[in-house]
Amino acid sequence: MNRSAQFVFGLLTLLFCCCVSEGQCATGLNPHFSVYTSVTRDGNNISTYVSISGYTSVPPGCVMTTATHHVGAENKLNNVDHWTYSANGCPTCYFSTSDSEAIVGVPGVLYPWGWDATSICSAVGQVSNSGGGGSLPGCTVPATETTALDGRTNTTQTNFNQTIADTAGDNFNGKMLQEGDAAPATDGCWWPTAIAPKVVGVTGGPWTVAGNNVSGQLNHWGWDIIGNTTPIIDDYRNNGPSHGITIPCTQTLHQKMSIQCPSGAWIPYTPPAGNTITVKVDHALVTNCRYDMNGFQCDPISY
């Protein structure tokens, strides 16, 4: 009886002190976690993403046999809270988990977003924690842009009429658009005494969707007037060759299109390389082209 009691006493004490020593080990836990968050749009949806991955260093000599660890990623978009947790694992295990959410953004609405990434030990609670967030403008940007010919200005300049759209068929009427340079322009028709200045970039716009020359046309913007006037073309043809210009000559511009969000920020919607605009001046032909996100239109003009 006495031996049995001693054995039970010893076992209970050992077990209890093991638990306590794990708690003491936990005070020296050293977290090594990386957190990555991102916000993306596809012209209609707003997607948010939170991930956490890494491990925890346990102090030398500590063997935590009963504690378990796990990590969690919180993604609270528009006040809807989502947590994704990894499975429980050993204290020195490597953990990864992530959470992605998406909503349809409505222009003019600000969506609250909060995120949190945490690692948790069953013995002591949180081992590490990181969080952040802000407001996401529900400003959707066009996902497509197509170009159509819409007449000419000054005989040799082409009026291009564009249609923008996204997957949800959003109405962009009234939104402001502007152009910028995605890359430096090149002007193969210019020499220092030419009557026209060297083409170094686009002029900037701006345009109002369904306004200006395309008033009332749903999701249209324009005109994007491309080309040279006849006196400039005459100058290129008549005086260019004696100044080293070879006819045909070409001018190339790289147009970055942006749309203005309710916040006032301009958000580019063309690919990083932008649209490509070319103006080719030949002996009896002028060709103005606009290569957009989805295709191109060229206007060959006999002049």
Partner 1 sequence: MLRSLLAAFILSICTCMASAQASAPPQHQHLVANTNAIDGAVNPELIADSTAYRLCLFAWSTAKNPSSDALRHQQVQVAQTGLDSNDQVTFVSILYDFRTKYDAAITAYNDSAKAALARNETTDVHPLLQTLDSLVQSTRGAINLQLSPAGAVRLHSFVVGEKKNMKVQED
What would the DSSP string read from start to end of 111-165? EEEEEEEEEEETTTEEEEEEEEEEEEE-----SEEEEEEEEEETTTEEEEEEEEE
**Which range, of 76-84, 98-106, 168-176, 287-295, touches partner 1 by CB under 8 A?**
98-106
SS3 call for 271: coil
CB of 186 to partner 1, least distance (A): 18
What is the three-class DSSP state of 285? strand
Q: Considering the complex, what minimum distance in angstroms separates the CB of residue 159 from partner 1? A: 29
Residue range at the interface with partner 1 (CB under 8 A); choices 90-98, 146-154, 245-253, 274-282: 90-98
Q: Does 96 bind partner 1 (CB under 8 A)?
A: yes
Contacting partner 1 (CB under 8 A), which of 78, 84, 100, 213? 100
Choice from 27, 135, 263, 294 touching partner 1 (CB under 8 A): 27
Residue labelled with tokens 């939104």: 175
Phi/psi region, residue 129 (left: phi>0; alpha: psi -120 to 50; beta: rest), is: beta
275 near partner 1, judged by CB under 8 A? no
Nearer of residues 38 and 154 to partner 1, judged by Cβ:
38
1 or 284: CB nearest partner 1: 1
Residue 291 pairs in a beta bridge with 276, 296
Tell me: does residue 58 bind partner 1 (CB under 8 A): yes
Q: Any contact of residue 125 with partner 1 (CB under 8 A)?
A: yes
106 binds partner 1, rule: CB under 8 A: no
What SS3 state is found at 62? coil
Q: Which region, judged by CB under 8 A, interacts with partner 1, from 59-67, 148-156, 177-185, 255-263?
A: 59-67
Name, in order, each residue with C-beta under 8 angstroms of 227's C-beta and a sequence gap of 6 or more: 156, 157, 158, 279, 286, 288, 299, 301
Q: How far is the CB of 277 from partner 1 (least distance, A)?
A: 19
- C-alpha dist (Å) from residue 290 to 30, 32, 38, 76, 280: 58, 51, 33, 42, 12
- Closest separation in Å from C-beta 47 to partner 1: 5
Measured from the CB atom, the residue of 281 and 293 that comes closer to partner 1 is 293
Is residue 57 involved in binding partner 1 (CB under 8 A)? yes
Question: If you ran DSSP here, which 8-state letter would residue 212 be given?
Answer: G
**Contact residues for partner 1 (CB under 8 A)?**
1-2, 5-6, 9, 12-13, 16-17, 20, 23-24, 26-38, 40-42, 45, 47, 49, 51, 53-55, 57-58, 62-65, 89-94, 96, 98, 100, 102, 123-130, 271-272
